[in-house]
Amino acid sequence: MSGFVSFVSSGPGDPELLTVRAVKRLEAADVVLFDDLSSGPILSHARSDADLIGVGKRAGRASPKQDHVSRVLVEYAEAGMRVVRLKSGDSGMFGRLEEEITALRAAGIVFEIIPGVTSASAAAATAGIPLTRRLTARRVQFITGADVTGALPEDVNMAALADPLATTVVYMGKRTFAGLAARLIEHGLSGDTPAMLAEAVSTPAERIERYTIESLARHLETATSTTPALIFYGPLAECEG
């Protein structure tokens, strides 16, 4: 008999931001396949006899290939186990959820998706800013700053990204933001547009710094930190936290 897979969203890192359902699935799991950013205290909710398997991907580091992760997920489920696939943030937000769902469906394995707190919401809460603002930020857009090669995607809608009345949150964008900022300015967005860099969101190492898009681009051109980060820009970043 096939097992069951729970895609559990672990939130941005603080175990207190886990949902009740996420904790229940971790406590019941026979095996947990976890991302790097979902390790540490969050795994303390797993049973002592559960198999814990790291399958996370980090930029610039050797990581398991996606087809390998999907194959392992299917193999454990086909062995009749209760499997938790623990993903950082919200599993549906730039988490390669679709590839793993496709593999499970092809194998006829039943699954569920448990939503979680995405790091953008957690960072905004820590900074004391809303993601929307009446009249000046009626729209929020989440984008990735890296394509499958790690480069800035070429097919982005620059008119939308340069909209001064939108809040834009860039995931995985530290290495490519200088190039993105240049293109934003070319498309009419002011270089003085407020920006915010949020690193290690909701962890003890969390750091939030305020810039303009121009000054942030200059900072990131020489920055050496490999800490996971989000970049915010638009009218909301000027709020004082």
Annotated catalytic sites, by residue?
Answer: 35, 57, 172
Phi-psi region of 229 (alpha: psi -120 to 50; beta: other; left: phi over 0): beta
Tokens of 38: 């979902």
Q: What residues contact 38, with CB distance under 8 A and at least 6 apart?
A: 10, 56, 86, 87, 88
Yes or no: say if 207 and 97 are a contact pair by the CB < 8 Å rule: no
Chain-centroid distance of CA 4 in Å reads 24
Could you give the CA distance from residue 211 to residue 97 in angstroms, rounded to a whole number?
32
Q: What residues contact 62, with CB distance under 8 A and at least 6 apart?
A: none
Q: What is the DSSP letter of 192?
A: T
Could you give the CA distance from residue 27 to residue 43 in angstroms, rounded to a whole number?
10
Please count the CA atoms within 13 angstroms of the CA of 124 that sit on its side-chain side: 21
